[in-house]
């Protein structure tokens, strides 16, 4: 049988982020629903046409979304939290967006990271009042649209029932089996309608199966798929996994499905060894994830061909597909826009469109069984030129020792209290303030050479002064300069540090309409010149209140970049840490004496296998400590982390030894408080009192309740009051209103604590 090529998903934002702009026009009521739907359809069909023209054998349908594919599934199955059910919505579309963004009266659903990537998904909420039903078969609609409009016999994509439920919240462990059984019935209805409509293969994503799953839990997987295939016996299901090697390989290959997709890029060689040990069923398709779907480096076709031949030797008469290791939503669309990258660097890169070309090269090579292809040779030649231009460095050049600050937290805390004289429950923000249209346009003009350095710098200074004045009026206790000179918290440092390159159009979706351009780490990272001092020192000169210097930490810079793969991660993290140490020295010399080193990505980088956690946390925590170990005892080190399940890394967070940590927690605050009931945290801490990802303005009373709930567990002498993340994506009106309420809430809580009537 001829080899087919397949991808699990495609970038959904469009060539020039037209998807993002359309969403934001709709949210601002600048276009109506009919226009929105028509133009979204145009984008969706254009993306399908691109894949068709590129020669993808099995084109995914249903991977396109208006916000998030997990939210799509929750909405499809009527998982609408009760707080939204009595609100008037003009359409189901507006209800869908309300789940993600909140309303005046209802908080948005929680958002967290998709496994160990920088993509965020909306966490489904399961309530006892849930009425299970299929509201709308979106996979069917998308499949039929591709078929009728473009003649594409697509491969519908659904997130699988076991992974979907594992990603959800709101139920107890003992309820898992019951809810999984309910979901299987709903999935059966969706899949039956797809099969009846003519879908030849249906991709069921089960990435949760790469976690360390117990035998007992895997029995639930087996029971679920036995029931599902009994309900839809004619459906051809492709069980798709990615991001790691699967657990229980020998059992997974016996599941009653038509095919299984495995990641051969991030599996550390385990899948080939499993095939050698356990074989693979002849009656199933094996979809080989052999092209990296998460990073942007060109594939070494010769090396990948050796892997393919090794598999073919074991499975000579099996049906095999060639595909990417995961969905391509994690990489930019096309390298064709990158006209400013050095040729020597560009020769080593492949974005989504180029990765499809690589799949085709491998497929054609299998057919011709020759190494004389001109395209093959050209591809390999450019890759070798890239490797020659950027040689690996001797790891010993960057020492890896256990870093430690010179004084304990209790000693530092006493000195810092004396120095800063902050009130009980001090108020601050996380770092960024709204990036308005005039600022974004000025930055673009400056990059294009259409605006002078002097005019650009003056606009940045004007913005800083405005927001210092706003913070004075709000009466916050610790200020920030607002980060107006920064396009993104990682890309900004990628532009300033040696060893990084930045792209023109290398956008990827982070959450909702928020897109980022991860910088590329292609060589050794090194400090060049001060990066943040000018703006921070200027802000500090405008006020007597302390202004925090704002840095992105080494682990986050690494995890939110397209990192080089020829060196171990800990070596690159240490390179970044040593560079940031020099920046901190420059800030201290400029009398900036509160410095925030953000590590929102530390938890997301945790390996998916439990057995790999300790090694990762050891080097990740040490990289942070390398960054801050030389800070003066009177300089207060802050850090910020995005919410995730902290219970398994709380000791590592403590070991980071920051003086103050702020944690993004507002939409799941009660869950985090339970962690601190069991684990002592004895340093400064701020649990975000409101969700910045939603335009909703929380009330003073809501924030007072959150503060009081926190203080039932955490000491008031160490507690800070802050939003849960930066305010870059909010408007000035939203920001001022929310912070006004936050300061009022802090004062009320402060008065309650100091009142003689309160014990």
The answer to whether 17 is annotated as binding is yes
Residue 6's Cβ-side half-sphere holds a number of Cα atoms within 13 Å equal to: 32
The answer to whether 507 is annotated as binding is no
- Rounded Cα gap, residues 399 and 677, in angstroms: 38
Residue 397's Cβ-side half-sphere holds a number of Cα atoms within 13 Å equal to: 10
Question: Can you tell me which residue has the tokens 């009081």?
Answer: 708
The answer to whether 514 is annotated as binding is yes
Query: Which 3 state secondary structure label does DSSP give 251?
Result: helix
The answer to whether 196 is annotated as binding is no
Question: Can you tell me which residue has the tokens 């006493």?
Answer: 414
Q: Which of 330, 578, 669, 693 is catalytic?
A: 693
Minimal CA–CA distance to 583: which of 534, 622, 523? 534
Q: Return the bridge partners of 511, or none.
A: 514
For residue 473, count other CB atoms closer than 10 A to its CB: 10
What is the gyration radius of the CA atoms in the chain, in angstroms?
26
User: Do 205 and 158 form a contact (C-beta atoms < 8 A)?
Assistant: yes
The answer to whether 661 is annotated as binding is no
User: Do 24 and 343 form a contact (C-beta atoms < 8 A)?
Assistant: no
For residue 704, count other CB atoms closer than 10 A to its CB: 19
Residue 409 has φ and ψ, to the nearest 5°, of: -60, -45
Residue 377 has φ and ψ, to the nearest 5°, of: -65, -40
The answer to whether 733 is annotated as binding is no
- Segment (H or E) for 225: helix 215-231
Beta strands in 422-564 (DSSP E): 498-501, 508-511, 514-516, 520-526, 548-552
The answer to whether 548 is annotated as binding is no
Query: Which 3 state secondary structure label does DSSP give 55?
Result: coil
The answer to whether 283 is annotated as binding is no
The answer to whether 205 is annotated as binding is no
Catalytic residue flag (residue 693):
yes
The answer to whether 19 is annotated as binding is yes
- Rounded Cα gap, residues 693 and 611, in angstroms: 33
The answer to whether 113 is annotated as binding is yes
- Rounded Cα gap, residues 110 and 199, in angstroms: 33
Q: Is 649 left (phi over 0), alpha (psi -120 to 50) or beta?
A: alpha
Burial category of 364 from C-beta neighbours within 10 Å (exposed 0-12, middle 13-18, buried 19 and up)? middle
The answer to whether 118 is annotated as binding is yes
Minimal CA–CA distance to 3: which of 301, 279, 272, 318? 318
Task: Find all residues with CB under 8 Å of 65, minimum gap 6, and list them.
Answer: 12, 71, 72
Which tokens go with 254?
A: 């016996």
Residue 597 has φ and ψ, to the nearest 5°, of: -110, 100
Task: Find all residues with CB under 8 Å of 106, minimum gap 6, and list them.
Answer: 81, 83, 84, 87, 98, 696
The answer to whether 227 is annotated as binding is no
The answer to whether 18 is annotated as binding is yes
The answer to whether 430 is annotated as binding is yes
The answer to whether 604 is annotated as binding is yes
Which residues participate in the annotated binding site for L-homocysteine? 430-432, 483, 598
Which residues participate in the annotated binding site? 17-20, 113, 118, 430-432, 483, 514-515, 560, 598, 604, 640, 642, 664, 725
Which residues participate in the annotated binding site for 5-methyltetrahydropteroyltri-L-glutamate? 17-20, 113, 118, 514-515, 560, 604
Which residues participate in the annotated binding site for Zn(2+)? 640, 642, 664, 725
Active site residues: 693
């Amino acid at each position: 049988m001829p080899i087919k090529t397949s991808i699990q998903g495609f970038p959904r934002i469009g060539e020039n982020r037209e998807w993002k702009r359309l969403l934001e026009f709709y949210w601002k009521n600048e276009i109506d629903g009919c226009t929105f739907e028509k133009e979204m359809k145009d984008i969706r069909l254009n993306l399908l046409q691109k894949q068709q023209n590129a020669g993808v054998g099995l084109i995914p349908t249903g991977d396109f979304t208006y916000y998030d594919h997990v939210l799509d599934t929750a909405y499809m199955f009527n998982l609408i939290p009760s707080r939204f059910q009595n609100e008037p919505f003009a359409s189901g579309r507006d209800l869908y967006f309300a789940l993600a963004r909140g309303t005046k009266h209802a908080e948005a659903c929680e958002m967290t990271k998709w496994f160990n990537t920088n993509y965020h998904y909306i966490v489904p909420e399961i309530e006892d009042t849930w009425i299970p039903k299929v509201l709308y078969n979106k996979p069917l609609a998308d499949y039929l649209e591709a078929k009728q409009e473009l003649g594409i016999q697509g491969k519908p994509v659904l997130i699988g029932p076991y992974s979907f439920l594992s990603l959800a919240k709101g139920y107890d462990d003992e309820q898992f089996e019951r809810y999984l059984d309910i979901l299987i019935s709903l999935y059966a209805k969706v899949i039956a309608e797809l099969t009846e409509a003519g879908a030849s293969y249906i991709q069921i994503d089960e990435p949760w199966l790469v976690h360390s799953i117990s035998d007992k839990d895997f029995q639930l997987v087996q029971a679920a798929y036995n029931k599902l295939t009994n309900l839809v016996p004619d459906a051809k299901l492709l069980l798709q996994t990615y991001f790691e090697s699967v657990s229980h390989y020998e059992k997974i290959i016996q599941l009653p499905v038509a095919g299984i997709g495995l990641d051969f890029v991030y599996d550390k060689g385990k899948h080939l060894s499993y095939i050698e040990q356990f074989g693979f069923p002849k009656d199933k398709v094996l979809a080989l994830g052999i092209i990296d779907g998460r990073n942007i480096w060109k594939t070494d076709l010769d090396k990948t061909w050796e892997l393919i031949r090794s598999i073919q030797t074991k499975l000579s008469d099996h049906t095999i597909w060639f595909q990417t290791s995961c969905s391509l939503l994690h990489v930019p669309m096309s390298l064709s826009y990158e006209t400013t990258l050095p040729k020597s660097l560009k020769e080593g890169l492949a974005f989504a469109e180029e990765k499809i070309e690589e799949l085709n090269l491998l497929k054609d090579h299998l057919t011709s069984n020759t190494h004389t292809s001109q395209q093959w040779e050209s591809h390999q030649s450019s890759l070798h030129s890239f490797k020659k231009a950027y040689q690996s460095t001797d790891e010993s050049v960057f020492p890896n020792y256990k870093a430690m600050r010179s004084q304990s937290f209790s000693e530092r805390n006493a000195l810092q209290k004396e120095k800063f004289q902050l009130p009980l429950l001090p108020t601050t923000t996380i770092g960024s303030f709204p990036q308005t249209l005039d600022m974004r346009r000025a930055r673009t003009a400056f990059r294009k050479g259409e605006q002078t350095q002097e005019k650009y710098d003056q606009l940045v200074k004007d913005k800083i002064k405005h927001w210092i004045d706003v913070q004075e009026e709000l009466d916050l206790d610790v200020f920030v300069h607002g980060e107006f000179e920064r396009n993104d918290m990682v890309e900004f440092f990628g532009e300033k540090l040696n060893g990084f390159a930045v792209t023109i159009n290398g956008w990827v979706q982070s959450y909702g309409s928020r897109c980022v351009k991860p910088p590329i780490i292609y060589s050794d990272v090194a400090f060049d010149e001060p990066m943040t001092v000018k703006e921070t020192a200027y802000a500090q000169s405008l006020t007597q209140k302390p202004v925090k210097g704002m840095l992105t930490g080494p682990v986050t810079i690494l995890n939110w970049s397209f990192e080089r793969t020829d060196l171990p991660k800990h070596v690159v993290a240490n390179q970044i840490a040593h560079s940031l140490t020099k920046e901190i020295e420059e800030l201290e010399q400029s009398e900036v004496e509160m410095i925030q080193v953000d590590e929102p990505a530390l938890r997301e980088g945790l390996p998916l296998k439990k057995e790999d956690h300790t090694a990762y946390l050891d080097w990740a925590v040490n990289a942070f400590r390398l960054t801050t170990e030389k800070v003066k005892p009177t300089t207060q080190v802050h850090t910020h982390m995005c919410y995730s399940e902290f219970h398994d890394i709380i000791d590592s967070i403590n070991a980071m030894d920051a003086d103050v940590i702020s944690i993004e927690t507002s939409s799941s605050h009660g869950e985090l408080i339970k962690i601190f009931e069991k684990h002592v945290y004895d340093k400064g801490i701020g649990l975000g009192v409101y969700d910045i990802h939603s335009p909703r303005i929380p009330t003073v009373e809501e924030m007072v309740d959150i503060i009081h709930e926190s203080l039932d567990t955490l000491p008031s002498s160490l507690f800070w009051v802050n939003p849960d993340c930066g305010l870059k994506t909010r408007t000035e009106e939203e920001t001022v209103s929310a912070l006004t309420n936050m300061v009022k809430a802090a004062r009320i809580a402060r008065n309650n604590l100091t009142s003689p009537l309160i014990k």
